[in-house]
Homo-oligomer: A and B are copies of this chain.
Amino acid sequence: MMPFPSEPWIKMAVMVFVIFIQTNLIVESQPKSDKILSLPGQPDHVSFQQFSGYVMVDEKQHRALFYYFVEAEEHPASRPLVLWLAGGPGCSSAGAGAFIEHGPFRPNGENLVKNEYSWNKEANMLYLESPAGVGFSYSSNKSFYSYINDDITAQDSLTFLKHWLIKYPEYNNRDFFIAGDSYAGHYVPQLAQLVLHSNLRLSLRGVAIGNPLLEFNTDFNSRAGYYWSHGMISDSSYKLVKRMCNTSRLRREYFLGGPVSESCRHVNHALSKEMTEYLDLYDVSGDKCLSNSSNLLHLHPLNPPKCNDIDVCLQEKTEYYFNRKDVQNSLHARLVGVTQWSLCINNSEGGDQDSVIPFTGTRSLVSRLAKELKLKTTQPYRAWIEGKQQVGGWSQVYGNDNMLSFAIIRGGSHTAPFTQPERSLLLFHKFLQGKPLPLSNA
C-alpha cells in the first residue's frame, strides 16, 4: 500500500494537478439506457444530463460497480472528466461525494434542493462506488468480501473505467482527473498509477485528495496535538499521550486487533473521558444532527437549511433518500446481498476542522514528499484569498507548473465541500486549471 505515486509529475495535496496539452476529440453523446429521466423530488429546470447504473467488472463472479454520472452544467463536451472516489474505506461516493459534498443536489426530506456550489459547474463528475460491497456496488460471490484489498480495488476501478468508456465513447481522450478524500488518499494515487501504465485513452492530468490518509503514523500521531490545540483535551492528558502511548499506537492497538497495552489503556481512558460522544470529530466546530431520519422527515418535511447554515442532518437525509424504492428505481440501482443502502459500511475517517486526519499531519507529509522528489517550493506558504478579500485558507506549491500543491480550506471539515462549499469550488476550479490559488497582494 504505497500511498504516493513515484512519478514526479503527479501533483497532489489537500489538493493536486498535472499538465499535458492534448487536443480533445469531441464525439457526440449517445443516448444511454443508464440515463436518469428524473430523480424523485428533483427541482424543475435541470439543464444537464444525469446517468447511473452498473458496470460489470467480473463477469464470472458477477461483480458490478455502481456509478452516478453528472454531466457538466454547461458545455459538457469541452469540460474535463473527474472521477470521484470516497474514502472510508467503505463509504459511498454517490451518497457522501455527490449528495453530501459536491453534487448538484442535496436531499431534504422528500425533495432534492439545488447545491449552488456543485462541482459539475466545472467538470463532468463521475462518482464511483468502490470496491464491490460499498453503496450499491456488489459481488454476487460473497467470498469476495473476505479477500478484497487495495490492489484489487484499484484493478476493479481500472476495469470499470475501461468498460465505462465503451458506454461513453465521447470521453475517450478527454482531460481526466481523479479526486477523492479520506481513505481515498490510498485509492486515488494507486488508481492513478494503474491508469498511467494502462492503455486507457484518457489524458490523466492530475489527482487531488482531500484530508487524505497518507501515512499511518504521521497522520494518526498528529491527532493528539490537534485535540490539545483545539481545546478538546487537557494539558495533562496531552502530556500522557506524549509520554505513554501516542495516538497512532492507540489506534493500532484498539482498532487493528490489539493486544492493548496497559499504557494505551490508560491513555485511552483519559482521552475518552475528556472528549465526548457529542462532538463530531470530523468537524470540531460544527454541531451534530440530533434527530433520527424519521423525525427529520415528519417534523420538518420541507424545511431547507436556513440561509447559509450547514444542514448537519444531511447524512441522515441522504440515507433516507437513497433507501426509497422510487429513488433506487430512478437510479437503476439494486440492493444485492443487503437489505439496506448504507452511506458507509464501515466507519470512515481534512479542512482545518477535521481532527480525524488533521491537516498538520498532511502538511508535514507533503513537505516530506516534496523533499523526496527534490521539488523546490515555487510558491511559499501563504494565505489564499477568496473572491471578496476573505482568507480562503493557506497553501504552498512545490515544483514547476504547480506540480505539487498543498492547500488548507479555512473552516473546512473532513469533507470540506460540505462545510465550505464556496471555497472548495474555487479550489476545484484552480485545480482543474492547473493554476495556483489566488494570493493577497499584501
Contacts and interface: CB of A to CB of B under 8 A. Distances in A.
Interface in A282-298: 284-285, 287-288, 290
A274 B382 contact: yes
Interface string A231-260: 111111100000000000000000000000
Contacts of A230: 229, 352
Interface in A375-390: 380-383, 385, 388-390
Given A285-B285, A285-B410, A232 B394 contact: yes
A233 B275 CA distance: 27
Contacts of A229: 225-226, 229-230, 360
Contact of A234 (B290, B352, B381): B381
Listed residue (A237, A273, A390, A393) with the most chain B CB atoms within 10 angstroms of its CB? A390
A400 B320 CA distance: 49
Nearest to A352: B231
A80 B441 CA distance: 51
Interface in A277-336: 277-279, 284-285, 287-288, 290, 306-309
Given A274-B394, A364-B235, A285 B385 contact: no
Contacts of A307: 306-309
A367 to B, nearest CB: 6
A383 B230 CA distance: 12
A160 interface: no
A217 interface: no
Contacts of A308: 306-307, 309
A19 to B, nearest CB: 25
Contacts of A275: 383
A332 to B, nearest CB: 39
Contact of A380 (B274, B288, B383, B390): B274
A442 B278 contact: yes
Nearest to A359: B231
Contact of A279 (B225, B383, B388): B383
Nearest to A363: B235
A284 B290 CA distance: 27
A408 interface: yes
A276 interface: yes
A367 B50 CA distance: 58
Interface string A136-151: 0000000000000000
Contacts of A290: 388-389
Interface in A328-379: 352, 359-360, 363-364, 367
A440 interface: yes
Contacts of A352: 230-231
Interface string A414-427: 00000000000000
Nearest to A367: B235
A382 B279 CA distance: 12
A97 B73 CA distance: 48
A276 B440 contact: yes
Nearest to A231: B408
A391 interface: yes
A363 to B, nearest CB: 6
A5 interface: no
A411 interface: yes
A271 to B, nearest CB: 11
A396 interface: yes
Contacts of A309: 307-308
A275 B367 CA distance: 19
A285 B277 CA distance: 24
B232 A440 contact: no
Contacts of A276: 382-383, 385, 391, 440, 442
B235 A390 contact: no
B231 A410 contact: yes
26 contacts: A225-B229, A229-B230, A229-B360, A231-B352, A231-B363, A231-B393, A235-B367, A236-B381, A237-B381, A273-B380, A273-B382, A274-B383, A276-B383, A276-B385, A276-B391, A276-B442, A277-B440, A278-B385, A278-B389, A279-B391, A284-B410, A285-B410, A288-B390, A290-B388, A306-B308, A308-B309
